[in-house]
Amino acid sequence: MAELLTVENLAVHTGPRPAEKIVDGVSLTMGESEVLALVGESGSGKSLTAMSLVRLLPRPLTAGADVLTLDDVDLLRATDRSMDQIRGGRIGMLFQQPKHMLDPTSTVGAQVAEPLRRFRGMNRAAARQATIELLRDVGVPEPERRARSYAHQLSGGLAQRVMIAAALAGQPRLLIADEPTTALDVTVEAQILRLLAAKKAELGMSILFISHDLGVVSSIADRIAVMYAGRIVEQGPAGEVLTAPQHPYTRALIECSLLRPGPSGELCSIPGHADSALRITSGCRFRPRCTATHDAHIEHQCAAAEPALATQSHATRCWIGMPTQVKEPA
Amino acid sequence: MSSQLLVVDDAVKHFPLPRQGLRRREHVHSLDGINLRINAGEVFGLVGESGSGKSTLARVILGLTPTTSGQVSIDGLGPRPPRKQLARTAQLIFQDPHAAMDPRMTLGASLTAVLAQHRIGGKEERAQAVSHALAEVGLDDSYLHRYPGECSGGQLQRVVIARALLLRPKLLICDEPTSALDASVQARILNLLRRLQGEHGLAMIVISHDLRVVRYLGDRVAVMYLGQIVEIADRDEIYERSCHPYTLALLAAGAATTTGKQPPATVTGEPPSPIHPPSGCRFHPRCPLATPECRSAAPELREIAPGHQVRCHHWETARPTLASEESPNR
């Protein structure tokens, strides 16, 4: 299968070097018509990873990578002018707060029409017609009337449908969806997830789906990459990662997100805090919070060095090769 | 028969909207005819989508928003109790702990201020009470001198809980207590709330859009839709024998995202505007079972089993028709 997106050894620095790396050693590949979910808690670096692909990191953050290509385009060497063509064109984007992302001063129809005129060279009349088709296509009721609405007149779910229409207007090869359903109600969330899955199948685009919610991810992802403290700690096919997680952090995260009481009647949780992980300079970054059973030999390895992420289809950054039981939290 | 701590009788809250020209003034129908009885020490879950009136109900109970009509009585205090007396009886925990604390006061000062307001104890006793309250939520005295900006969301939510419990209230209202927190932290806050509830014999109202949160904490659950309670029952009854199409849709959406299946298409569209609630049954425009009767006649809440009330004309057929594709709750 041809690779659509290849990322090798991506890092995000907090400023001019030498600076702290808040994303480090991230390597990803995505095939065509594939949904890769980046999962992690807040501060794990999942959004920064996505934003560095489209060169939208806020100052003073800087990104660097060994390889960063989309199709045949080298995103590392692309000029700012050609990045303008790529954002909204080959790479579409969706965000958590659709109403904040839409321009409040122009109609939503104009915002869907813009990429049509810009990337597909349509004239005004053709773009207007295509806009209404696109809005109808993503399930906006009464598209002719809705095209003349402003962002504040739409509900959250409708605004996200409009954002999807605007993203699809550029005929993207890759859609970056950063927590696209987090601000929506559950019944609407289900509708938006169904819509994204249908569009993926219909148009053959790939989706980089960023979420903190494993439940949401499980219903849409083909593959999952779990991030912790700026690293990918586990990566593999969605079914395998969810049912046979190998990294203790992934296991704990899954157990937590089920919100299912354990034998003691308490919910499972991960002891300690993630905010200290960036200060760990040697060994595994999850070590202070890890509850997996270690023998002395492995314990020594955990402190000495950070395990590398193998290249096989389901890989994990953990010295414990075999899946083990998570201990009950104290 | 345990004593009734909270009695809400036919509470109605309509917010007036600005007049548009010469047209009649319109109202947002936030609450329409809410009846509630909550016993001392009981945990009551309140579920619904945004705009269903959950938070307005909390504010009405706490006297923060006056009702348009209807009665609220907490602990026999009568209709309009003095604010300080009410504060000693019922307290509120908000969703965003960073917004709930004064950013320019140390946590110690914030907590001591509560006791000073109510003229409880001398300087020494207050200091003791504050550090005892912090210890109860698992924080040590080093937090006394910290500012809210120096704490993580989970730590700060513990402080908010400690502050709410300083006055030894009988009723604690938690409005989306963990929605702003990461999965691993969420579980710990829920465990803490449950432990404190048991230790203090607190009555709690837990407001959430997440059915799993309510399932873990609640004894009894009410589902709200557009300002009305559409179903109310004991926890297990709601989760296993729910009879309202809307409750079934919420459960199906929740179940799908934890099992990794595509959520079933039981409900279409989005909640309509609470300015012009639909005629008849308020759920009929989105309901898969709607008949002409639903459009014209508003169903009443009726008791279908002891303690189980449903507001639906077709409750007898709802479960057999809609629950078939629902995955078993495991």
Residue A330 confidence class, pLDDT cut points 50, 70, 90: very low
pLDDT tens per residue, range A178-210: 999 888 888 888 888 989 999 999 999 999 999
Q: Are strands A223-228 and A231-237 parallel, antiparallel or unpaired?
A: antiparallel
Q: Would an 8 Å CB–CB cutoff place A157 in contact with chain B?
A: yes
Give the model's pLDDT for residue B326.
44
Whether residues A194 and B265 touch (CB distance < 8 A) is answered with yes
Query: What does each C-alpha distance from A105 to A88, A98, A151, A159 come to in angstroms?
Result: 19, 15, 8, 14
| Interface ipTM above 0.90 | no
Q: Would an 8 Å CB–CB cutoff place B257 in contact with chain A?
A: yes
- Whether the pLDDT of residue B192 is over 90: the answer is yes
Q: How far apart are CA B256 and CA A151, in angstroms?
A: 30
pLDDT tens per residue, range B36-76: 999 999 999 999 888 888 989 999 999 888 999 998 999 88
Of B180, B54, B174, which Cα lies nearest the Cα of A96?
B180
Of A306, A268, A315, which Cα lies nearest the Cα of A287?
A306
Residue A216 confidence class, pLDDT cut points 50, 70, 90: confident
Instruction: Report pTM.
Output: 0.84
Q: Coil, strand or helix: which one is A51?
A: helix
Of A57, A61, A54, A59, which Cα lies nearest the Cα of A75?
A54
pLDDT tens per residue, range B219-259: 999 999 999 999 999 999 999 999 999 999 888 877 665 55
Q: Would an 8 Å CB–CB cutoff place A259 in contact with chain B?
A: yes
Lowest mean pLDDT across A117-131, A258-272, B108-122, B248-262: B248-262
Backbone phi, psi, residue A261, to 5°: -65, 140
Q: Would an 8 Å CB–CB cutoff place B259 in contact with chain A?
A: yes
What are B19's two structure tokens? 């007049």
Q: With beta carbons under 8 A apart, name residues in chain A contacting B49.
A: 185-188
Residue B263 confidence class, pLDDT cut points 50, 70, 90: low
| Percent residues over pLDDT 70 in chain A | 92
β-sheet with B203-208: strand ranges across? B90-93, B171-175, B203-208, B43-47, B220-225, B228-234, B308-310, B302-305
Whether residues A185 and B209 touch (CB distance < 8 A) is answered with yes
Q: With beta carbons under 8 A apart, name residues in chain B contacting A157.
A: 270
Q: Which of B184, B254, B269 sits opposite A270 (nearest CB)?
A: B184
| Percent residues over pLDDT 90 in chain B | 58
Whether residues B270 and A266 touch (CB distance < 8 A) is answered with no
Give the model's pLDDT for residue A18.
67
Whether residues B262 and A261 touch (CB distance < 8 A) is answered with no
Whether residues B253 and A187 touch (CB distance < 8 A) is answered with yes
Which residue has tokens 């927190």? B181
Q: Coil, strand or helix: which one is B132?
A: helix
Q: How far apart are CA B154 and CA B178, in angstroms?
A: 9
Q: Would an 8 Å CB–CB cutoff place A114 in contact with chain B?
A: no
C-beta atoms surrounding A102 within 10 Å: 22
- A250 to chain B, minimum CA–CA distance in Å? 11
Whether residues B250 and A268 touch (CB distance < 8 A) is answered with no
- A173 to chain B, minimum CA–CA distance in Å? 23
